[in-house]
Amino acid sequence: MSDVFFEEMLNELFNGIKVHGHPFRTVSLATVGQNAKPRLCTVVLREVTNDLKLTVYTDSRSQKISNLLLNNQIGLLMYDPDKLLQVKIEGQAHIVKDVERLDTSWSNIPTNSRRDYITHHSPSSEINNPSSVEYLNNDHYFAMIDIVPQKIEYLKLKRPHHIRVAFEKEHDTWKSTFLVP
């Protein structure tokens, strides 16, 4: 019976990458920083595979990459305010090393969107003015992060009952349990 919720959650994730303006297009990514400090940022969901691997893009010099090199445990949070649907994901992040895949994704990024990965100075460097950022011409710091979910939690607020379901991956299948919301 909880399969319908898993299917719904999966559909929403796919719509996040396909449907313009879908609330799951941008997700909150939690990483663990130095001294176990929690760190959050917004990222765009770029790819979702049928076996539920999620991919986001970033600058390889960003702090989230340094965090992931120390600790690859992540959290993802998505929320649709119209459907009152929240999806929480816990899992492991893997920085993509496959050069062919990186090259293919990079070549598919429109030129004017490449600026996010070609700043002369690293993200978080101090500048005097937002217009004074310098860009590289022949180099980039494009990086991809694959996220492999281990636990997923679906929560929908509705009448007469809120619905909260935990999905946990066990030997490649997802075991589901209803929870008190």
Interface contacts to ligand FMN, rule CB under 6 A: 26, 41-44, 56-59, 62-64, 123-124
C-beta of 59 vs 153, nearer to ligand FMN: 59
The whole-angstrom separation of Cα 53 and Cα 162 is: 27
Residue closer to ligand FMN, measured from CB, 58 or 119? 58
Structure token digits, residue 105? 């994704």
CA atoms within 13 A on the CB side of 39: 18
| Closest approach of ligand FMN to the CB of residue 27, in Å | 9
Minimum distance from residue 40 beta carbon to ligand FMN (Å): 8
CA atoms within 13 A on the CB side of 122: 9
User: Based on CB atoms, which residue is closest to ligand FMN, 123 or 163?
Assistant: 123
Taking the complex as a whole, the smallest distance from the CB of residue 90 to ligand FMN amounts, in Å, to 19
> Which CB, 44 or 69, lies closer to ligand FMN?
44
Minimal distance, residue 112 CB to ligand FMN, in Å: 15
- Least spacing, CB of residue 21 vs ligand FMN, in Å: 12
Q: Pick the closer one to ligand FMN by CB: 121 or 158.
A: 121
Both tokens of residue 27?
Answer: 């997700």
